[in-house]
Amino acid sequence: MSETQNYDVVVVGGGPAGSTVGALLAKAGHRVLILERERFPRYHIGESLVTGMTPLMEELGLVEQLDARYRHKTGISLRWGKDPQPWRSDFSAAGTDYDHAWHVTRSDFDELMLDNARKLGAEVREEAHVTEILQDESGTVTGVVYTHEGRTHRVSSRYVADASGQSRTVSRRLTETQWQDDLRNVAIWGYYDTYTPLEDEDDILVEAIEGGGWMWGIPLSKSKLSLGYVLSVEKLTEATRQGLSHQEIFAQGLESSIMARTMVDAGVSVPLKSARDWSHLSDRFFGPGWVAVGDAAAFIDPLFSSGVWLGTSGAWLAARALDAALSDPSNEAPALERFEAVYRQLFSDILSYVRFFMEPNRLREEYMERAQQIARVYTRSSRVGFMALVSGIGAVADLVNFDPMGVEGLQEIMVERQKIAAERAAAAAE
Ligand SMILES: Cc1cc2nc3c(=O)[nH]c(=O)nc-3n(C[C@H](O)[C@H](O)[C@H](O)COP(=O)(O)OP(=O)(O)OC[C@H]3O[C@@H](n4cnc5c(N)ncnc54)[C@H](O)[C@@H]3O)c2cc1C
């Protein structure tokens, strides 16, 4: 086994969250190694982005390339709730000049992000599979073991950032997972080469399906539509028990839709993919020697296309917290507490709203008003509140201005954390 020392941070996973934390730490002058199991480009789901990501993309110097490569996404066309009429909201409704995001082919987008991390100074090793977490006798994570080209390597670092997506390589071992049983879904999707665009042809389509579940339509290009059906595990299990295949279940969803079925020829069957879509949060996003970002920290149903935004936002916060901790170890506790507090708030805002929205029998105005209450913007318009929340733009000030060593609110955060730790210790003692 070979031994390598002296990385400041080893990042497990080179998806959007891993390449973001790796790029920003390398840019700040730290020695970073990103270990990615696959060779890029590799397929990934999660193709529709939101404008809340744009300030980070500016920070990473990627906006021009994104604009040149990918179809602009201008808003959301919905058919949802009691009112049978479709409705839409565009990004500019949030009241900022971030008027578009992008629909991306993830294999290409993720490669662009990872290459950018390389350019900014991170060392990247692909086809490097992390198999073990190293801990000292106190439980502090001190590095990882990985395999690469048939050999096993051991690498030590001051911090390990878990950005391994749903594999949750570190957080699976070191945290409790809070599975959200009411959001235990499955997604089935495929790609159509020919389709009829929506009236607002650059929008994502989000449509509630009679009898439960919802469909997405993502116009990746003029000749490629990603069409997906999200349904509960119970509904899928019941349909499977009746002998239905994924093709048939997908066809049923399409048949029950009003808008999605106008986009494609239901007679054409395309190869389908499927994935578990079960929302979850880890009870901790950091511990001695490690942090978790992206799906490795938490995952929320993709109703509002928030996954890549949440993952990269957490990575942006983590990079600044780790930078503070690396420059002075006494910063570690407050910086990481602060990272977790801000990051967890992003997840809980989206989670509570997804939960509210999943109730399909409300009026459009009720959905908008609830968003206005949750969104981190002061506005008298529910329309502004809705778009500020679902685009992530409403939380951007918290991200851009994040100061891991700021004092404001820190006392409350520490008290809250101590309370949680005491409750956990009491529960463990019972
Ligand atoms: C059905 C569905 C639809 C979705 N739609 C959207 C959408 O429209 N918009 C959106 O923003 N989000 C969407 N998401 C969510 C989105 O896919 C994720 O939130 C996002 O990819 C998370 O990024 P990440 O970097 O955390 O993880 P990932 O993108 O999964 O990257 C993790 C990387 O870690 C690597 N890895 C894993 N284990 C190891 C290991 N042991 N060693 C080394 N490397 C490892 C993997 O190979 C992978 O490349 C969707 C999710 C689902 C399930």
Is residue 321, in this structure, part of any structural domain at all?
Answer: yes
At residue 84, the pLDDT reads 84
At residue 205, the pLDDT reads 98
Question: In this structure, are residues 111 and 41 in contact, taking their beta carbons and an 8 Å threshold?
Answer: yes
At residue 7, the pLDDT reads 97
State if residue 308 touches ligand 1 by the CB under 6 angstroms criterion. yes
Question: In this structure, are residues 29 and 373 in contact, taking their beta carbons and an 8 Å threshold?
Answer: no
Q: Which atom of ligand 1 is nearest to the CA of 128?
A: 43
At residue 380, the pLDDT reads 87
| Choice from 37, 126, 313 to test ligand 1 binding pocket (greatest atom count within 8 A of CB) | 37
Is residue 223, in this structure, part of any structural domain at all?
Answer: no
Ligand 1, atom 17, lies closest to the CA of 46
Is residue 311, in this structure, part of any structural domain at all?
Answer: yes
Is residue 79, in this structure, part of any structural domain at all?
Answer: no
Kindly give the distance from the C-alpha atom of residue 164 to the centroid of ligand 1, in angstroms, as a whole number: 8
State if residue 12 touches ligand 1 by the CB under 6 angstroms criterion. yes
Cis peptide before 41 (omega within 30 of 0): yes
At residue 299, the pLDDT reads 97
CATH code for the domain of 123: 3.50.50.60
The three-state secondary structure class of 319 is helix
State if residue 314 touches ligand 1 by the CB under 6 angstroms criterion. no
Question: In this structure, are residues 391 and 349 in contact, taking their beta carbons and an 8 Å threshold?
Answer: no
Q: What are phi and psi of 222, to 5 degrees?
A: -65, -20
Ordered per-residue pLDDT tens for the chain, 430 residues: 777 768 999 999 999 999 999 999 999 999 999 999 999 999 999 999 999 999 999 999 999 999 999 999 999 999 999 988 999 999 998 888 899 999 999 999 999 999 999 999 999 999 999 999 999 999 999 999 999 999 999 999 999 999 999 999 999 999 999 999 999 999 999 999 999 999 999 999 999 999 899 999 999 999 999 999 999 999 999 999 999 999 999 999 999 999 999 999 988 899 999 999 999 999 999 999 999 999 999 999 999 999 999 999 999 999 999 999 999 999 999 999 999 999 999 999 999 999 999 998 999 999 999 999 999 788 889 999 999 999 999 999 899 999 998 755 555 655 655 565 566 556 555 6
Longest dimension (CA), the chain: 63
Is residue 41, in this structure, part of any structural domain at all?
Answer: yes
Question: Which residue type sits at 251?
Answer: A
At residue 410, the pLDDT reads 56
Question: In this structure, are residues 228 and 46 in contact, taking their beta carbons and an 8 Å threshold?
Answer: no
**Torsion, Cα of 12, 15, 17, 19 (10° steps):** 80
Is residue 364, in this structure, part of any structural domain at all?
Answer: yes
Structural domain that includes position 416: 2-45+102-177+280-429
State if residue 18 touches ligand 1 by the CB under 6 angstroms criterion. yes
CA of 254: how far to CAs of 70, 158, 229, 261, 267, in Å?
27, 50, 8, 6, 11
Residues in a beta bridge with 24: none
Tokens of 171: 């957080």
Query: How many angstroms separate the CA atoms of 101 and 70, rounded?
Result: 9
Q: Which atom of ligand 1 is nearest to the CA of 310?
A: 19
Is residue 209, in this structure, part of any structural domain at all?
Answer: no
Query: How many angstroms separate the CA atoms of 234 and 254, rounded?
Result: 19
At residue 421, the pLDDT reads 53
In 3-state terms, the chain is what percent helix, strand and coil (to 5)?
40, 25, 30
Is residue 25, in this structure, part of any structural domain at all?
Answer: yes
At residue 411, the pLDDT reads 58
Count of domains for the chain? 1
Kindly give the distance from the C-alpha atom of residue 13 to the centroid of ligand 1, in angstroms, as a whole number: 9
